[in-house]
Structure 1
Amino acid sequence: MGRIIAVANQKGGVGKTTTAINLAACLAEAGKKVLTIDLDPQGNMTSGLGVDKNEVENTVYELMLDECSIKESMTDTVVDGMKVIPSNVNLAGAEIELLGIPEKEYILRNAVDYIKEDYDFIVIDCPPSLNMLTINAMTTANSVLVPIQCEYYALEGLSQLIHTIDLVQQRLNPNLLIEGVVFTMYDVRTNLSNQVVENVRNNLDAKIYDTLIPRNIRLAEAPSYGLPINLYDSKSAGAESYRLLAKEVIDRKDI
């Protein structure tokens, strides 16, 4: 059975979508069958995989409102063989529209159940908030991958996210695990980056990936070309890092 990974952090600007896009692309590059799901109304994962978010007919919004099937919501990406369930600004209204729906926490899971056996990995990009969309991602997922920026306030908000994951475990998805923490925007030249890594290692009872994602100009440029980093600049430090992260994720045997 495939693994479903929600990439989540309610703090914006931590490299969440960058990690979701590039981890998925590097898993596919490693020969895995991968589906991506964009649950962020900003639709950055969608456009970062070369899909025009304003031109797609069916998105995750239509899927969650039961206006299309999960197969109908899938769109081809620039990565060979990898599809995305896209998102756009319409999803911002989903919170309100889902209010009266019974078992609204499980809408995405019920849809994904039909196709999850077809994939080695399903990677979900969560919105930068702890809302009903994020809850849907966590009830669907086997595990949560948390990107943390190497900066002074890295631990701020992390306890809130872990508390949310604990609540989902207790009440909605007892099988949910913390996949692990991955450090992003790591700057080898600064003491601060090293201090942040040490601080989190000492204070967090969770798996911390060995791979450190560097600050890298090519990583920052790639989304504007609608390409993941391994297609935009295959030899860049960013591409190599996400390949290493993908290998670590594949090699996890305890999830």
Structure 2
Amino acid sequence: MAHIIVVGNEKGGAGKSTVSMHVATALARMGRSVSTLDLDLRQKTLGRYISNRQAHLKEKGLELPSPSYIELPEIDEAALQPGENAYDHRLSAAVAQMEGDSDFILIDCPGSHTRLSQVAHSLADTLITPLNDSFVDFDLLANIGSDGETIKGPSIYSEMVWSARQLRAQAGLKPIDWVVLRNRLGAQNMVNKAKMEKAVSRLAKRIGFRVAPGFNERVIFRELFPRGLTLLDLKDVGVKSLNISNVAARQELRELIRSLNLPGITVDF
């Protein structure tokens, strides 16, 4: 069966689609079959990222390892039984369509609470939650005191993950491996940054997630999107030498993939 990776966070702007694209493409470049699904039915940033990639490669006559992408299929709602949810069936149909020929299925969730996102979290073997280095974003995981240190209790998103874990346990499935990425880090080592590091580490022990390194804030990510490229594609599209920032970003991606501990994956790029 395919290993399902869900990238989720109920706040926008945390870098979910950038993380999704780089993880999916890295796995494809390591020879794995990767299928992707974008549950943000309005914006579809991951879907547009992959579409940009397909168009750019076709225009340049290039063939690079890439994840596949499907749209959430429509279903006949008239065939549903009373009380059945159409979105549940659409997501189940999508996963069934991808599972047969995929080593990994990556699902990118919207930056809001939706029924689709809630169900997707219960399907996750690995859950990746990118988190901006800010107490505004930290509030999604836990309520914290005015001192920036006292954790008062889990917040809305953590409670949803807890519910997803309970559903998996009831179904006899293995626990979700929840990985929180401190993402879009600034270059300066400020007091707030140190406080965030302590708070995230403390919360990880309390509610059960692992902390992994994400990406620093870099212009390169905004430049890659229109062409659908990732950090791993630069040399293949004619970039002869990487600058220091790009080399550092590749190392960040390498550390991210390594820290996910995905089955059968040894980082070789």
Relative to the length of structure 2, the TM-score reads: 0.70
- The answer to whether the 8 Å contact 1:23/1:243 transfers is no
Give the corresponding residue for 2:161: 165
- The answer to whether the 8 Å contact 1:40/1:126 transfers is yes
Runs of 4+ residues deviating >6 angstroms: 98-101
Going from structure 1 to structure 2, the CA distance change for 1:101 and 1:142 (only over 3 Å counts) comes to farther
| Runs of at least 5 residues in structure 2 that lack an aligned partner in the other structure | 55-62, 75-79, 142-154, 265-269
Give the corresponding residue for 2:88: 106
Q: In the TM superposition, what are the counterparts of 1:116-195 in structure 2 within 5 Å?
A: 116-158=99-141, 159-171=155-167, 174=170, 175=173, 177-191=176-190, 192-195=192-195
Give the corresponding residue for 2:25: 25
**Between 176-185 and 156-165, the greater mean CA deviation after superposition:** 176-185
Give the corresponding residue for 2:65: 80
Q: 1:225 aligns with which of 219, 224, 227?
A: 227
- The answer to whether the 8 Å contact 1:25/1:79 transfers is no
Q: Deviations over 1:26-72 (max 9, x none)?
A: 1222222211111112111012123499xxxxxxxxxxxxxxxxxxx
**Aligned CA-pair RMSD:** 3.2
Give the corresponding residue for 1:5: 5
Going from structure 1 to structure 2, the CA distance change for 1:25 and 1:8 (only over 3 Å counts) comes to same
Residue 16 of structure 1: how far off its partner (Å): 1.0
Cα distance in 1 between the residues matched to 2:214 and 2:118: 27
Cα distance in 1 between the residues matched to 2:92 and 2:167: 15
2:215 is paired with a residue of what secondary structure?
A: strand
Identical-residue share of aligned pairs (%): 23
Cα distance in 1 between the residues matched to 2:122 and 2:10: 17
Q: Deviations over 1:127-177 (max 9, x none)?
A: 111111202322333232111111232311123111012223334774351
Give the corresponding residue for 1:50: 51
**Between 217-226 and 232-241, the greater mean CA deviation after superposition:** 232-241
Cα distance in 2 between the residues matched to 1:120 and 1:168: 22
Cα distance in 2 between the residues matched to 1:104 and 1:168: 19
**Between 149-158 and 236-245, the greater mean CA deviation after superposition:** 236-245
Residue 178 of structure 1: how far off its partner (Å): 4.0
- The answer to whether the 8 Å contact 2:204/2:211 transfers is no
Going from structure 1 to structure 2, the CA distance change for 1:210 and 1:102 (only over 3 Å counts) comes to closer
- The answer to whether the 8 Å contact 2:133/2:184 transfers is yes
Give the corresponding residue for 1:246: 257
Cα distance in 1 between the residues matched to 2:8 and 2:81: 22
Larger radius of gyration: 2
Give the corresponding residue for 1:71: none
Give the corresponding residue for 2:149: none
Relative to the length of structure 1, the TM-score reads: 0.74
1:123 is paired with a residue of what secondary structure?
A: strand
Q: Deviations over 1:98-125 (max 9, x none)?
A: 9977154632134413542422211110
Letter in 2 for 1:155: F
Going from structure 1 to structure 2, the CA distance change for 1:180 and 1:157 (only over 3 Å counts) comes to same
Residue 11 of structure 1: how far off its partner (Å): 0.8
Residue 17 of structure 1: how far off its partner (Å): 1.1
Going from structure 1 to structure 2, the CA distance change for 1:197 and 1:101 (only over 3 Å counts) comes to same
Residue 251 of structure 1: how far off its partner (Å): 4.8
Cα distance in 1 between the residues matched to 2:263 and 2:210: 12
- The answer to whether the 8 Å contact 1:4/1:124 transfers is yes
- The answer to whether the 8 Å contact 2:53/2:228 transfers is no
